[in-house]
Structure formats: structure tokens, C-alpha cells
Amino acid sequence: METPKRPSSFAQYKTLLAKDLRQEFRTREMLVSMGVYALLVIVVFGVALSFARPGEEFLEVSAGLLWALIVFTSLLGLNRSFSHEIEEGCLEGLLLAPLDHGVVFLSKATSNMVFLLIVEAIAIPLYWLFFSSLAHPAETGWLMVAPILVGSVGIAGIGTLLSTITVNTRGKDVMLALLFVPIVFPLLYACVSATTAAIVGGDLMAESFMVSLALAAGYDVIMILASWVLYDFVVGA
């Protein structure tokens, strides 16, 4: 009698990721709440900017506002990403299975990133739609896809580690924000800079777009490696 073959790490990763995606697409719990929340933040921005004069100056602020929207929305999503794992006792089951904890981290980070990207794909066109009357982005505006991708990868990576930590704490929503915002600050700064450069265009673009993007990518690599290594301790604690 032959012993059953142990599934490869990639197969485990695919299974875990498929589980997260299937659960989400059946309930649509997280996507709906994140999407509606993003819309509400846009409404708040609309009120905040209701007395702003239309003009090119708005472009310099708009990338920052867009990233504020992304940060708040992703905080909401990250908070929820682990709560139902805990509620149903799913996490304990996962830890009992003979899995490498790094695989759990990667699959969770990927699913968080997928949800974040889906919400961004809805929210950013909406953002443009509501505020296009104030100013028009430069021709290089489409390049902002790059910082948004890089930023989402970083947010999902470090955010997964932090949300695993905070899901076991008292007052977890506030705790996640307290840890997440300062730690993600460098990434946010670089991404805002790159996005502003893309939207404004011109000299600023040539000067800072690539530098900012490279720094953001460097942050991603370092932080995801660190989170991957540290995740083993966190999830087992």
C-alpha cells in the first residue's frame, strides 16, 4: 500500500486562496462593505472640497486624497479578513493541518490584495468621476496604475501580518489602525509622491516618479520578506 503523496506548497497555496475567494464571492460581505465605505469616503471628500476652486492646484492634492481613500478602505478590509476565521474556528483548523505557516501568510496576503484591487478598480473611476470637474489629470495620468499596484501589494503584505496580530487583541479595530498607519507610512509617502508625479506630469514627473516607485517597491520587498519570516511566530502564538 503506497502512502498518499504530500501536496506541494503551491497546491496548498492554491487551495487556501481558492477557499478565501470562494467564501468571499459567495457572501460578498467584505467587497460590499469596502465598496460602500469607499463611496462614503468620497462623499466626505466631496463635502470637504465643496468650496475648493477648480484648477490645476487640485491635482497636487488629489493623489494624496486618493491614497487616504485607499488606506481607510484597506483598513476596513484587513480588519474583517481575519475575524471570520476566528469566529468559525477556521484558523485553528488551518494550524492543525500539516501546513507551512508561510503558505497561510502568502494565501491570506494574496486574497487581501485581490479584494483591495477589486475595490480600487471600482473606487478610483468613481473618484475620477466625482472630481473630474475640478481638474483634468495630465496625459501621463494612466501611469498611476503602477504606484497603485505596488502600494496594494505592500499594504496587503504588511497588513496581513498586522491584522493577524490585532485580531487577538482588545479593541482590535483601533489597534490595527494604530499599528498600520505608522508602519505603512514610508510606502504611503512614496506612493503619494509617485501618483502625484503621474497625475501632474511635466518636470515633477521626470524627477520623482521612478525614484518614488523604486523606493515603494523596495519597501514591499523588505517588508513582505520580514512579515513572511515573522508570521510563523505570530500565527502560532
Partner 1 sequence: MKEKAREVKLPESGQWPDRIAPVVLGAGIVLSTLGFLLAFLWVGPVYGASVDGVELIGGSMVSQMLLISQKIFYFHMPVAIVSFIALAFAAYYAIRFLMTKEQRFDSCSQVAMEVALLFVICTMITGEMWTRFEWGVWWTWEPRLTTYLILMLIVIAYFILRNAVDEPERSATYSAVISIIALIDVPICFMVTRLIPSSIHPVVLREGGMTADMGICLAVCLLGLLCVGFALYRARFNQLRLSQRVEAMKQTLEEQQ
Fill in the DSSP letter of residue 91. H
Q: Which of residues 12 and 160 has its CB atom nearest to partner 1 in the complex?
A: 160
Interaction of residue 113 with partner 1, rule CB under 8 A: no
Place of cell 478590509: 77
Cα–Cα distance for residue pair 131/117, rounded to 1 Å: 21
Cα–Cα distance for residue pair 39/54, rounded to 1 Å: 21
Q: Which amino acid is at 127?
A: Y
Give the shortest CB-83-to-partner 1 separation in angstroms: 16
**Sole window of 7-15, 82-90, 135-143, 221-229 interacting with partner 1 (rule: CB under 8 A):** 221-229
Interaction of residue 144 with partner 1, rule CB under 8 A: no
> What grid cell was written down for 133?
470637474
Angle formed by the axes of helices 101-131 and 9-27, nearest 10°: 40
Q: Write out the E strands in the chain.
A: none
3-state secondary structure of 54: coil
Q: Which of 94, 190, 199, 217 binds partner 1 (CB under 8 A)?
A: 190
For residue 113, the number of C-alpha atoms closer than 13 Å in the C-beta half-sphere is 21
**Taking CB under 8 A as the criterion, which residues in 157-176 touch partner 1?**
158, 161, 165-166, 168-171, 175
Give the shortest CB-161-to-partner 1 separation in angstroms: 8
Q: Which amino acid is at 89?
A: G
Q: Which of residues 61 and 122 has its CB atom nearest to partner 1 in the complex?
A: 61
Q: Which of residues 143 and 158 has its CB atom nearest to partner 1 in the complex?
A: 158
In the complex, the residues that contact partner 1 under the rule CB under 8 A are 158, 161, 165-166, 168-171, 175, 178-179, 181-183, 185-187, 189-190, 193, 204, 207-208, 211-212, 215, 218-219, 222-223, 226-227, 230, 233-234, 237
